[in-house]
Amino acid sequence: MFKFLRRPYPFNIDLKKNIKILFFVSLLIFVFLLFFQPFRVDALKRIEKIYLISGLVIVTFLSLSLNLLFIPLALKKIFNTDKWNVKKEIIWNLWILFTIAGGYFVYFQMIGMFEVDFVLIVKIIAVSIIPITALLAIKRNDLLRIYLKAAKEVNKKFEQKKNEEEKKVQFISNYIKDNLTIKINSLLFVRSANNYVEIFWKDNNTIKKKMIRSTLKNIEETLKEYTNIIKCHRTSIVNIDNVKKVIDSSQGFKLFFEKIDFPLFVSKKYIAQFRELSRRKSLLFI
């Protein structure tokens, strides 16, 4: 339960939105009091009813203005949306309930139309819950929108990853019959071999390689759109997603791949780029 209370919870600091909420909830209170008349107003004159309802709406408006606009603006460090959690949200809503109910109570004392007894206090609290309920409903709707947006982002990334996994790349050889087409995510690395290049890739649980008549420059041009594939040496291009581990030695970085019994090296020229990309990919350094 205590873990639940520490869960992050978004705090709305959008001024325009809070002003709209302020007017909406105040209007809701006006309609509720006008049609349901929870307080004993039968004996009151029409003008007295209007004063009573208008006063309660004004109290609601002022209380919500204080809590939705002025306090969060004055205490920005406390109402930091990045540090807000469920526990703070519960305490904050109880405080809003207290200020609204307290405002109603003071208002009834001031106008002196009713005897302040237990029944009236219960009604004051019950009516005070209405704005809180409306606020909670609005926040719940906001949360659903946030979760829906997050779900869409996750699905979008999943689809992108799936598309990338299914995407194929064709390596063109000077001899057409030696052209090679593989899934881009299966590529391990490419290294030059005189007037040829050696291409290593995964095929299920096996490692395959093929030598084609081409240059590393041509291969680099073919793979330039893929941000996870970089040149790490004048003789090598590597798919960083398939690097198993990295050893930082006196000779520089050594890159190791699963089921490959030799490493690739990262030359000084490409170390900065490699460090940045490996940081984002959370590669294992030893």
Query: Mind listing the pLDDT tens digit for each residue in 204-235?
Result: 889 999 999 999 999 999 999 888 899 999 99
| Averaged pLDDT of the chain | 87
User: 249 to each of 91, 215, 243, 282, 286, how far by Cα in Å?
Assistant: 55, 29, 16, 19, 9
Other Cβ atoms within 10 Å of 215 Cβ, number: 13
Q: What is the percentage of the chain residues whose pLDDT exceeds 70?
A: 94
Residue 194 reports pLDDT greater than 70: yes
- Answer for the pair 240, 277: CB distance below 8 angstroms, yes or no: yes
User: 157 to each of 7, 152, 162, 165, 226, how far by Cα in Å?
Assistant: 25, 9, 8, 12, 16
d(CA 6, CA 132): 21
d(CA 164, CA 223): 13
Assign domain 168-281 to a CATH class. mainly beta
Q: Which residues contact 42 (CB under 8 A, 6 or more apart)?
A: none
Identify the residue with better confidence: 258 or 143. Answer: 258
DSSP state of 7: S
Identify the residue with better confidence: 256 or 4. Answer: 256
Residue 284: predicted pLDDT: 55
Residue 111: predicted pLDDT: 86
- Answer for the pair 228, 240: CB distance below 8 angstroms, yes or no: yes
Residue 12 reports pLDDT greater than 90: no
Q: Which residues contact 47 (CB under 8 A, 6 or more apart)?
A: none
DSSP state of 172: P
Lowest mean pLDDT among 82-96, 100-114, 145-159: 145-159
Q: What are 253's two structure tokens? A: 């970085």
Q: Report which listed range, 31-35, 134-138, 196-200, is most confident.
A: 196-200
Residue 164: predicted pLDDT: 64
Residue 11 reports pLDDT greater than 90: no
Residue 144 reports pLDDT greater than 70: yes
Residue 198: predicted pLDDT: 95
Residue 42: predicted pLDDT: 65
Residue 1 reports pLDDT greater than 60: no
Q: Write down how long the chain is.
A: 286
Mean pLDDT of 38-47: 76
User: 256 to each of 70, 235, 260, 280, how far by Cα in Å?
Assistant: 58, 16, 7, 18
- Answer for the pair 209, 198: CB distance below 8 angstroms, yes or no: yes
pTM greater than 0.95: no
Q: Which residues contact 192 (CB under 8 A, 6 or more apart)?
A: 198, 215, 216, 235, 236
Pairing of strands 187-193, 168-171: unpaired
Residue 216: predicted pLDDT: 94
* Domain spans of the chain, in order of start: 2-163, 168-281
User: 123 to each of 20, 60, 99, 104, how far by Cα in Å?
Assistant: 27, 15, 15, 10
Burial of 101 per CB tally in 10 Å (0-12, 13-18, 19+): buried
In the structure, what pLDDT confidence band is assigned to residue 159 with cuts at 50, 70 and 90?
confident
Beta bridge partners of 252: 249
Query: Mind listing the pLDDT tens digit for each residue in 46-69?
Result: 888 888 889 999 999 999 999 999
Query: Mind listing the pLDDT tens digit for each residue in 172-191?
Result: 999 888 899 999 989 999 99
Burial of 45 per CB tally in 10 Å (0-12, 13-18, 19+): exposed
Residue 145: predicted pLDDT: 86
